[in-house]
Every structure is written in C-alpha cells, then in structure tokens.
Structure 1
C-alpha cells in the first residue's frame, strides 16, 4: 500500500470513528467542538465524513425495511467499540459499491483536491458538489465555520478555504449562516448575479433566470454581472428582499413578514397569502413527486391563504375539495384539480 493510500485509509477510519461516536448518547458539546476542528483540518476529512454519513443514512433506511430478529440481543449504547470492526467494514462496503451521489477525493498534480463524481466528471479544483432530491432538506457545515441549508431539489458547488469563500447555485434554494470575516468575503454566484457578504444570514433562490435574495440578518450586496464586470448593484439589509430577472432588479425594503414567509421552508412549511392556486401548486410541486395539475383558468385563479406542510400534498388537496368543492382526479402523472 502506498503512503498516499495509507493516509486515505487512515482518514476514512477516523471519519468512521467520529461518526460512530456521534451516535452515542454520551456525545457532548465538547465532542462536537472536537469533531468540527477535525473536519476543518482539511477538505479530505470533510469529504470522508460526508461519504460515510450518507452511507450511514442509506444503511439505516435499508435496515428499517428488514424484519427484526426475535432473538436479537439487547443493544448496550456504551458498547460501540464492540461493533467497530463490523460497522467500519459495512461503511467500507458502502463506499466501494459506489452509492449514487457519493463524492470521493482525488489528488491533483498540484497537491490540491478535485472532487470526482460517480459519472467520471471532475469539478474545478477545490469545489465540492452538494445536492438534495425532491422533498429533501440538508444542513452542511462549511470549512470556514459557516453553514449552508439546502432546500428541495437544489444543486450547489462550494469552494471554501482560508483564502476564498465561494458558492455557485446551479438550481434550487439555499439559506446561509455566514461566519463573519473582515478579510475574506463570502460570495454566492446565481445566474448573472453575484451576492457578496462579510457575515450574515440570508437565502438565495434560483428558479430559471429568476433570482430571489432574502436577508434575515446583516447586509448583502447584489451585483448584476455583464461581460465579467459589475453593471449594477443593490445593497439590502435586515428584512429586505431583492427580486431579479435578467436585467431587472426589484428591492422590497423592510418586509420582515415576507422574509419569514420566504424562509418558512426551513420548518417544512409553505405559507400563502392571497396566492393563486397556480402559484400554490407550483410551490407544492417543488417538494413532492406527486404533481398538482390545474385543469382550467377559473380554478387557476382561485386565491388562497394559509400555512401548509410542504410534504403533505394529499392534505392540501383534501382542504381544497372541502373549501371549494373542486373536482379531484388521480392521473398517471399527478392529481388534476378542476371545477
């Protein structure tokens, strides 16, 4: 085994050890601090830990489908060391079989790390791809101490180091809690907009050419880029929102209620205030494989308000039926709603 492979094996084993320890009831705040310090030592540590964490989640889901053995011995929560070898072996198998979406680090000639995807494509040096499926919600710590929270069906790339902090939103929506740094700005790229902050809490949503920025705390600068240069800028602060579409930018100042509504997805909820049924259906369709299909113009223009669980599309349809007596048809590709 080469020295390089030996280091990789060592990193994987350390990541597995941390993951197992974190599942124990004796896990403390100091343990979390120690884990964060280990993760921040290198991108290799983060990549190894995320791979195993993803595999662990898949193993849990598979285990939930298996029948329980009646003669299975009771588990001792303090005896994780006893199961270290079989669990680490299981984690290794999960890595080797190539779980969909798992990333692995590949050393580049310059000593930096590229991230190789399962399909063989390689991202730019230092970038990590993060993604969520429809209905999935994920919180990921970044190397600088910041955090990114991914909403449903979101794809981003992150390159966060001591010298540079950059995020690319390819599609979807993300909420950022940015650790303040006077020296290194935190930059988010979304379409032809560049959002720059020093330290704040804000969200960015990319829906085709439409970009929405909502600021919960702090100050954010939104730059419109043209031919690699800034053509226009807008600065928004607490409770402000910016809506952009190609060359147009609209800023809604001091709209804390609207910001709260925009961020309701973080609690798994959707909030509507006199929204058309078409708008509401579009939002529900972001979070569910069961798609809502509006059958006619009259139904599409119905105005609704209220708070709904994003993942419970069936309950929403039942409420529509109760309130408006709408016709509900189960279709092959979703649920059709009409008069």
Structure 2
C-alpha cells in the first residue's frame, strides 16, 4: 500500500494577519477569561487557524536573534570593499517602552515572547508585516507592493507602496501626505489653491506642474518634475523649478538643489533605481514593495554601497544579487521573511 501525502493549502495573507494579531494581543496586554475563550473559538473555527498561529509563533521565535542584534549598539562598519553593489550598520527601527511580562503568557507563547521582548509596541507590527494602526485611519492608503492611481478633484495622484494620505482637517482643497511617496499632476487648466501638506510644510503646485513628494522614515524630499511649485515652511518660501529638489528637516527647509530625476520617477515605470546608496537604505525601500521582510544582520553588509536597477515585477532578484555579489548567507522563513548575513 502506498502512503499518500498531501500538501497543506497555503495560508492567506488575511489569515496570517489574524494569527499575528492574536499573538500580539495575547503577549502585550492583560488577557481576560473572555479573551482566552475568544482565542479558543477562533482556533477551533478552522484547522487553518491553528496552523497559522503555529507559523506565527515559529516566525517570531526564528526572528528573535536578528531583532536582538538590531536592538544592540551597532559595531563600527567595515571599510568598503570597493564592490559596485554594496551597507551603514543602521539598526531596524525598535521602539522601547516599559512593559510587564506575565510568566504564564510568556510560556504559552514560547519563543515568540523573545522577539516581542525586544520592544515592539502594539500599534507597530513586528518588522512591518502588517499595517500600523495609525495607517488604518487614513483617507487614502496603499499596502506593501501596491501602487494606486486616484483623482482628487482635477489633480491626478499616483501613490507608491505603503503610502498614507488624509484630507485637511479644515476641509480645504488639497491633501496631507503623512507617510510614503506620491506624485501629483495638475492640468494646465487647474484652478490655483490646491495645497499639499507634508511634514509641517505647504506645497502649492502651479497649474500644469508635476511634483513628487516623498516622506519615508523621517526623510522628506519634494521634487519638481515639471512646471513650478511654491514651498513654504515657517518663514521661508522657495520656488521649485523642474529637476529641483527640496529636503526638509524637523523645523526647516534644509536644502534646495538640482537632482537627476530618472531615479525619482522610476517607480512609476516599474523600477527601483539606486545610485551609490547604503545597502540598508536599499533594503528599506525594497521592503516597501515586497511582501514579507528582508532583514540584514551583522555590521559589514549593511554598510556596502549600492548601484543597481531592480524591476518591481521581479523584486526577489535583489536577494540573488546580494548573495552572488557578496557571498551573503540567505535564510528564508515563513511569511516571506529573508535574513541576509
């Protein structure tokens, strides 16, 4: 008699998110008897629920060493080896807060507690594997890997991945970019008065203008691609012409200078273009377009400098590129998580 083996059905992204939500909920807050009963009912609804939860536990346990290494002070980066594709030892964003651990819950979650102990708060998903709570209240939002075209009045808006925007609180014409990247194209016949808010500044494109607004991880850049646009921050006003970019800091317009625009516009054409950028920055950008997460470990690899063109349609070719160029070790885990060391 021949043994028959069946391959389990893949776990959907929605079910993965539910499992991670339960894991985080049971770990980070007081667990009542009602919570425990609701969790048991959820697990019993379908065999896939138990499988998804077990996978979530394995994933968090496997990520614990990488998360702990990221939270520790980084070593001095190794000197550049001079290879064209190359990283600063930037740690993953870890936010810490005082927390209470219940030994019973810790034992119940097993290895997952070790990863949670690094300091991820409930409103932030571990490694960005699902949207943060504040993103869910946006008027316009794109998910990881999603690009979306919308219209706000007569203004054509192209949203890059992981972008959130909201309408102005005072009901005026315009939009506020809270995170991510977007392009705004105004028709030549557009009325004046459309205002783009970003990081405390006001951007007013002229009719016929096209501008790219990027606000990712505290790095805010505004680039005029066509026409002209007026940027106001505090008492300073600058007028951006085509190919000119303004960079903002926490309280001012830090710089205004001409820049090459091919790389800035590349995501609209299905590419990510990097020109002598740290590998950590490259990975952070790729993670906005790739399901799961790429995690760099160690200090030497993140400090390499990169010059590359990555097609969004085949974004995992980047992993092969890093492996082949640097001999990096690749460890693949559930949920699309890849460790490079």
Q: TM-score range by the shorter chain?
A: 0.5 to 0.7
Query: Is 1:187 paired with 2:195?
Result: yes
- Output one character per residue of 1:177-205: Cα deviation in whole Å (capped at 9) or x when no partner: 11245753221011211111222001111
Query: Is 1:237 paired with 2:245?
Result: no
Aligned to 2:150: 140
1:220-231 map, 5 Å: 220-224=229-233, 230-231=234-235
Q: After TM superposition, give the deviation of residue 158 of structure 1 in Å.
A: 4.3
Q: After TM superposition, give the deviation of residue 332 of structure 1 in Å.
A: 4.7
Query: Is 1:294 paired with 2:296?
Result: yes
Give the number of the structure whose residues are more often strand, by fraction. 1
Aligned to 1:170: 178
CA distance in 2, matches of 1:237, 1:174: 18
Q: What TM-score, normalized to structure 1?
A: 0.55
CA separation of 1:312 and 1:252: change in aligned 2, threshold 3 A: farther
CA distance in 2, matches of 1:184, 1:148: 16
Structure 1 SS opposite 2:300: helix
CA distance in 2, matches of 1:221, 1:310: 32
Aligned to 2:272: 270
Q: After TM superposition, give the deviation of residue 243 of structure 1 in Å.
A: 0.9
CA distance in 2, matches of 1:182, 1:170: 24
Structure 1 SS opposite 2:316: helix
CA separation of 1:129 and 1:182: change in aligned 2, threshold 3 A: closer
Aligned to 1:198: 206
Q: What TM-score, normalized to structure 2?
A: 0.55
Q: After TM superposition, give the deviation of residue 156 of structure 1 in Å.
A: 1.4
Structure 1 regions of 5+ residues with no counterpart?
Answer: 1-118, 225-229
Structure 2 regions of 5+ residues with no counterpart?
Answer: 1-132
CA distance in 2, matches of 1:300, 1:131: 30
Q: After TM superposition, give the deviation of residue 209 of structure 1 in Å.
A: 3.5
- Output one character per residue of 1:114-142: Cα deviation in whole Å (capped at 9) or x when no partner: xxxxx9xxx9xxxx922211111111123
CA distance in 1, matches of 2:167, 2:203: 14
Aligned to 1:335: 338
Structure 2 SS opposite 1:263: helix
CA distance in 1, matches of 2:230, 2:198: 13
CA separation of 1:297 and 1:318: change in aligned 2, threshold 3 A: same
Structure 2 SS opposite 1:297: coil
The size of the alignment, in residue pairs, is 202
Aligned to 1:130: 140
Aligned to 1:317: 319
CA distance in 2, matches of 1:239, 1:317: 32
- CA root-mean-square deviation: 2.4
